[in-house]
Structure 1
Amino acid sequence: MPLPTLPIEIWEQIIGSLNRYDRRSFCTCCLVCRSWVPISRHYIYDTIFLLSSSQVAKFLKSLICVEATPIGLYVSILKLHEGSGRSPREHLWFSKALPTLSQCLPNVTNLTVDCIVPDTFDPSSWSALLNGFLQVTSFSLFLCRFTSPTEVLQLIASFPRMSSLQITRLGFIEDPRRLVTDSMISPPPQLALLNAQQMHVPFLLHWLTEHHIRIRSATFTSVHGASMESIGEFAHQLGPSLEHLSLSEPETDRLRPEVFAAEHFKLAANTHLRSLDINRMYAIGGLPWLSDLLSQIKSEDLECVRFAIMAHTVALLQKVPWSQVDYILSQFSSIRTVKFRFFMDLSLWKKAAIFVKTQVPRLIDRGARIEFEL
């Protein structure tokens, strides 16, 4: 008696429940049944990570194989890490591969680029990067060196559908503080999430503000101290559109609490702010600006506040004006969660958590959850 035939939709759900990193299982599915091939290939080729010349050579060979189904159609997440390479020839694989990658991978929506130096690109390669990935909605750029910030703006502008941007530790030959932005270069209109880390950001924020891009979620981690005023102005200009804001004290000025002065920020304009995350606060100075910063918030939608504090002793935490913090936050009827993370020895972590919890009685009485992260 023949076995009942299951609809292909059921098999697709079963195959989709497999471990996404178990490529052997998906390859086996391709060999078992012809109808399983499309869904199996989707999981095999959905994410491609290329980080060496030998690896990219094999992948390019499979892309242009005329006897095979175009596997490039399945790729939606592409991660490219050029690195330093063992030789100048190997170092240039990224530039040589770009024209083929841009033509054969039309459905990439998530693109990550690490450690590139556009100075080494020939014109066709740079053009391929600017014009070949038009479906990208999420773009990440790490540890790259550009001639000028204008090149970065051109690259960002080349993804018209982009809604999420992350940039980290970009270097420039020209001084980014002297950039005059080109009004003809326009940011992606749908850009809503911005994450900038360990770099000079005023040129980028000025560009986004100039074109009235309404960022919904902004994260700034370990940026240069000189950028704090620009970040404050940027947040103010966003007004009600800003819902999530994450900040951190500049690492280079950790002993000068005034660099995080509250006057840099005017959060009263962010009337729909839902969450505020303050990272890497150094408690050595008692965080004198903290209550001033929190008192600026006028949003009736604030649900979550998170503090990540650097303190090697509980005594340092005692210098923080917790009674003012407790009073200010307890005035928000919408507050649901207040989170704390302490960067200290694990032997002191529990004592720190107990101490801080005793300092926020009003929040506890209001029913807010007090959470602690390791």
Structure 2
Amino acid sequence: MTSTPRPELHLDIVKLIIDELHDFRPDLKTCALVCRSWVSQSRFYLFPTIHLNRRNNVSSFLALCASPYSTIPLARVSNLTIVTDLLVEDEHKDKQRVQNSAVFDQLLTWRSPHDGKSIADMFRHLKTLSLDWTEWRPQSETAKSMLYSTFQTVTELKMQNILFETGDEFLGFLSSLTCLEILCLDGVGVRIPGKASTTQSNASSSRFHTIELRNLFPYHCVEAIRAITPCHSLKNLSVHGVNFSDMNANWSMAVGDLLVSAGPSLKSFGLCVQAVGRFRRLVDLGTDTSLQHIDFTENPNIRSITLDVDDSAYLVPFLERLTRSHYPPSLEKLHIPKLVPDLERRSTHVDYKRIDELLQHSYFSALGEFRCTQSVIHDIGDMPLHRDEENNFVVDEDTWLSWISEEMESKIEELKAKMPKLADKGILQVEEYFEEVSYPIQMLRRR
């Protein structure tokens, strides 16, 4: 008896079907087991990210790669995360760090015993590389030679809690990422100060356009910032500090030099200082000069500035520096989230009149959006109650929402009255923030 041949779906149709299943992992796993021609598209959605650490150790992963039946290259992995310094006991900490530092070397120098494939063959589609260590150890010559081929497709590098010995060591690694476009440094530093780098990094490449600096403590971060300076192609710079005391003159000068090196390429800048409670009183930003080096006199094409600083005393001196620019106006968006003091900063004085006057300067003539946040903070105990059919007290939500909406309207009108010139231009945009004191319930709307 001859069986009737079953019609086969064209592979392009199969791929479209699998694309529709991108959020359904059980179905994707089933598809990956049907036949080899279905593996690539199924694995693409199943394994976009591979995360390696001590518990999910590199040796096990490499053993999987070494299998003659391995389908990892078909997964088209786009994100690789390597965490090599997890919590360890103090008495074994130094030894463990050395072992963890060798993980990256082990990964780079691996070769399949069956066909000689390298780790570069496993990650031919890699776009994002994330590394989280405490201390960078020099790699072997074999590992260094593999850096270029292994990560030649990486466009975004994220590094957290890494301490390099020298600027050359730092830039030697960056220069291996030939397609790098975005660099995120979180707690990254250079140990030895004052040693000029002799290595050319991708910070000079025309591809490189975005730098995000987070939690850079003043002891080692200044050398890390100077290592990536100059950066002539820099378009977007974002800086995040822990508190005001970290923003010393050396830190400010390093960031300022990076801004200067970007020149006309720079389009956007953001500064966030995560200061709370007593930390915001350690530095008087109205008189302190640590921020004076952060200006844009050499950046004629700056389009957007965000200053998320929990102390508005810095704002008038900052705006005054901007007005000294001799370039044609280019700034289109200015975002000052904490312009209006919240509940904790009600005693803070904000010179709204001076700010309103400064924003009429010709430097701000291209400004189409000035954004800030207005808060309404209320106590849950003030909420109106009424009895329901079962004689229980319940919240009268309609009355409550109406009340807080009216309070918000009143505060926004009050803010507009304090900056009438800006309000008359129609560019003042207020984000509304509602929060309950007893437990946070927040709504954020743009007006």
Instruction: Determine if the TM-score, normalized by the shorter chain, exceeds 0.5.
Output: yes
Deviation of residue 34 (structure 1)? 5.2
Q: How does 1:306-325 map to 2 (within 5 A)?
A: 306-309=335-338, 312-313=343-344, 315-317=346-348, 319-325=349-355
State which structure, 1 or 2, has the greater radius of gyration over its C-alpha atoms: 2
Listed one character per residue, the Cα deviations across residues 4-63 of structure 1 (whole Å, up to 9, x for unaligned) are: 98754454344334455x533321222346543221111122221222243433332222
- Counterpart Cα distance in 1 of 2:87 and 2:272: 33
Structure 1 segment 269-288 matched on structure 2, within 5 A: 269-283=298-312, 285=313, 287-288=315-316
The DSSP-based 3-state class of the residue aligned with 2:154 is: coil
Q: 1:292 to 1:236 in 2, by over 3 A?
A: same
Over 3 Å counting, the alpha-carbon distance change for 1:353 and 1:33 in structure 2 is farther
CA contact (8 A) 1:314 1:352 kept: no
Change in 2 beyond 3 A, CA 1:311/1:294: farther
1:233 to 257, 267, 273: 257
Specify the alignment match of 1:84 in structure 2: 86
Aligned counterpart for 2:18 among listed residues 15, 22, 43: 15
Change in Cα spacing, 1:337 to 1:167, as seen in structure 2 (3 Å) is: same
Check conservation: 1:160, 1:188, Cα contact below 8 A: no
Match of 1:244 among 254, 262, 268: 268
CA distance in 1, matches of 2:301, 2:195: 32
Q: Distance in 2 between matches of 1:170 and 1:45?
A: 28
Deviation, structure 1 residue 276: 0.2
Return the offset for 1:115: 1.5
Distance 1:60 1:259, change over 3 A: farther
Q: Specify the code of the residue in structure 2 equivalent to 1:371.
A: V
- Displacement of 1:230: 2.6
Q: Are the equivalent residues in 1 in contact too, given 2:78–2:125 (CA < 8 A)?
A: yes
- Look up the match of 1:335: 367
Tell me how far 1:70 sits from its aligned partner.
4.5
Alignment deviations for residues 89-134 of structure 1 (CA, whole Å, 9 cap, x no partner): 6735444233334453233121111125223755544554466312
Counterpart secondary structure, 1:118? coil
Quickly say closer, same or farther: Cα 1:345–1:141, change in 2 above 3 A: farther
Instruction: Tell me which amino acid in the other structure corresponds to 1:57.
Output: S
> What SS does the aligned partner of 1:151 have?
helix
Which whole-Å CA distance do the structure 2 matches of 1:167 and 1:38 have between them? 33
Q: Which has the higher helix share?
A: 1
Tell whether the 8 Å contact from 1:232 to 1:265 is kept in structure 2 after alignment: yes
Aligned in 2, Cα 1:147/1:29: closer, same or farther, shift over 3 Å? same
Gaps of 5+ in 1: none
Q: Which residue of 2 aligns with 1:216?
A: 235
The residue type paired with residue 192 of structure 1 is H
Report deviation, 1:329.
3.5
Q: Aligned residue for 1:37?
A: 39
The answer for the alignment partner of 1:361 in structure 2 is 420
- Once residues 339 and 11 of structure 1 are traced to their aligned partners in structure 2, the CA distance between those partners, rounded to angstroms, is 48
Cross-structure match for 2:113: none
Deviation of 1:305 after TM superposition, in Å, equals 1.3
Percent of pairs identical after alignment?
20
Task: Assess if the C-alpha contact under 8 Å between 1:272 and 1:302 holds in 2.
Answer: yes
Matched, 1:147 2:165: yes
Aligned equivalents of 2:77, 2:229: Cα separation in 1: 33
In structure 2, give the amino acid aligned to 1:324.
Answer: R
Equivalent position amino acid for 2:181 in 1? S
Match of 1:109 among 110, 127, 132: 127
Cα deviations by residue, 1:140-182 (Å, 9 ceiling, x for unpaired): 11101222232112111211111111112124442x3x12121
Distance change >3 Å, CA 346–CA 130, structure 1 → 2: farther
Distance of 1:72 and 1:370 partners within structure 2: 48
What code does the residue aligned with 1:239 have? G
**How do 1:188-207 and structure 2 match up within 5 A?**
189=205, 190-199=207-216, 200=218, 201-207=221-227
Report the CA distance shift for 1:364/1:26 in structure 2 as closer, same or farther (over 3 A).
farther
Verify the 8 A CA contact 1:221 1:247 in the aligned structure 2: yes
Please state if 1:96 is matched with 2:96.
Answer: no
Specify the SS of the correspondent of 1:58.
helix
Partners of 2:56 and 2:335 in 1: how far apart?
44
Alpha-carbon contact 2:297-2:322 (below 8 Å) kept? no
SS in 1 for 2:109: helix
> Aligned residue for 2:320?
292
